[in-house]
Amino acid sequence: MNQIPNSLHASDIAHSIHPYTNARAHEAQGPLIITRGDGVRVYDSEGKEYIEGLAGLWSVAVGFSEPRLRDAAIAQLDALPYYHSFAHKANEPAIRLAEKLAEITPEGLNRAFFTNSGSEANDTVIKMVWFLNNALGRPQKKKFLARTKGYHGITIASGSLTGLPANHKDFDLPAIPVTHLTCPHFWKFGAEGETEAEFTARLLEELEQTILAEGPETIAAFIGEPCMGAGGVITPPEGYWPGVAAICAKHDILLVSDEVINGFGRLGTPFGCQKYGFTPDIMVTSKQLTSSYMPLAAIMVNDKVYDAIADHTARLGTFGHGYTASGHPVACAVGLENLKIIEERDLMGNAARLEPAFQAGLRAFADHPLVGEVRGTGLIGGLELADKATKQPIGKSGALAARVARAAQEAGLICRNVYDTVALCPPLIVTEEDIAQIFARLGAALDQVAAEAKAEGLL
């Protein structure tokens, strides 16, 4: 196997700025350089094998080094490597992918707009909604409702929708009119003695009262992930989403389902909104759309949204928004083939079939001394490291989760620490044997860090 020279590590430290990374710590630590992947496994520059327990970044549905996606990209590069979608231009892969998405997404979502990432997609949703309300003569209807701990991207506008402190602090965000409501995490934010049903009712009352206080005529849309991902894998309480949908419909507020992590089978259903029983006006997809082999995202809108936008473009003469690579033919060709693989191999069904084994494996850690709560659904899950009695972090917030993630990496498992949560989200091709190995390696990491924490007087 070809080895990566040490000069590459030094070059990375000297010249790269890494996202979601402490830059000074990186200068001392250096990178883990991944050189190849195969199925659910990846390999570093020293030849060490890892199970990719987060599917890259919640996204590699069909696993690594899938030859059909490589072949789809090569064939499209040979035929038409690039073309744009501006001013009535089109290409066949983009047309076919939009058609396919209209077929498989919930009924009524008939139109697709392509961007390069989920961040760009949610940024575009904001602009679309503002454009729509101006078109309808409602210039005051521009505010968004989102949730604390929600994640919707990292641009100035989409980052404003995100409800995570690290994404706002010293970036001067939020920079658009958005109100962040209570995170729908019953274990953490339920009041003492409050039942789950009462917690749901309280959150829905908060939503209703916020709308009335702000004025329904000023609120454009509510955006949320059906199951929160980057905020710590937070599943909603029973009845929450149907209640949100009913209140939004009552006040003529658009409902946006951010399916960037949830979509294409992650939760054991095609889309998260179907898992939780609601139909959005707008849906945002990315990540598993191409298994992240190519950058691509798709915004799906219903006819109500499309018609208002389309009518206004007729008045103005254009829709003054788009990207050089919107509907990129190579990305769309890869997306089409990726969706074919998901269907032909029944990977959504695989997620549903393996959900009991995966969730049972997670819940086996419920009594672990580091674990406060276990949560998840489908093939996504998280362990929140906290004191079970107080529900507060053990030691400095985030520190133990980071240590567990490092220990897991040493044991050959890549997972992600999200604040005080250790998150897992394996490729949809995962097997029962893979799941057993994931939890064996994670268990070793948890035990190692627990022993260290006990020696340090934290437990």
pLDDT in tens, 330-382: 999 999 999 999 999 999 999 999 999 999 999 999 999 999 999 999 999 99
Length of the chain (residues)? 459
Q: What is the mean pLDDT of residues 221-244?
A: 98
Beta-carbon contacts of residue 443 (< 8 Å; ≥ 6 apart): 365
Q: Is the pLDDT assigned to residue 2 strictly greater than 90? A: no
Q: What is the DSSP string of 76-102?
A: HHHH-S----STT---HHHHHHHHHHH
CB atoms inside a 10 Å sphere around CB 167: 20
Domain co-membership, 192 together with 130: yes
Q: Is the pLDDT assigned to residue 4 strictly greater than 70? A: no
Q: What is the pTM of this model?
A: 0.96
283 assigned to some structural domain: yes
Domain end position, chosen among 304, 323, 344 = 344
Burial of 208 (0-12, 13-18, 19+ CB in 10 A): middle
Q: What is the mean pLDDT of residues 222-236?
A: 98
Domain co-membership, 221 together with 356: no
Domain co-membership, 289 together with 352: no
420 assigned to some structural domain: yes
Q: What is the mean pLDDT of residues 44-68?
A: 97
Domain ranges, residue 50: 32-62+346-455
What is the predicted pLDDT for the residue at 3?
Answer: 53
Domain co-membership, 44 together with 92: no
Domain co-membership, 166 together with 179: yes
Q: Residue 80 sits in a domain of what CATH number?
A: 3.40.640.10
155 assigned to some structural domain: yes
Residue pair 257/273 in contact (Cβ under 8 Å)? The answer is yes
Domain co-membership, 293 together with 374: no
Average pLDDT of the chain to the nearest whole number: 97
Domain co-membership, 308 together with 380: no
2 assigned to some structural domain: no
* Sheet order of strands, 297-302 included: 109-115, 297-302, 282-285, 254-258, 219-224, 143-147, 178-181
18 assigned to some structural domain: no
What is the predicted pLDDT for the residue at 1?
Answer: 41
Domain co-membership, 270 together with 366: no
13 assigned to some structural domain: no
Domain co-membership, 164 together with 285: yes
Domain end position, chosen among 329, 344, 359 = 344
Q: Residue 42 sits in a domain of what CATH number?
A: 3.90.1150.10
24 assigned to some structural domain: no
309 assigned to some structural domain: yes
Percent share of the chain, pLDDT over 90: 98
How many domains does the chain fold into?
A: 2
Domain co-membership, 272 together with 360: no
Domain end position, chosen among 319, 344, 369 = 344
d(CA 451, CA 337) in angstroms, rounded, equals 47
Q: What is the mean pLDDT of residues 170-186?
A: 98
Domain co-membership, 167 together with 105: yes
Domain co-membership, 234 together with 200: yes
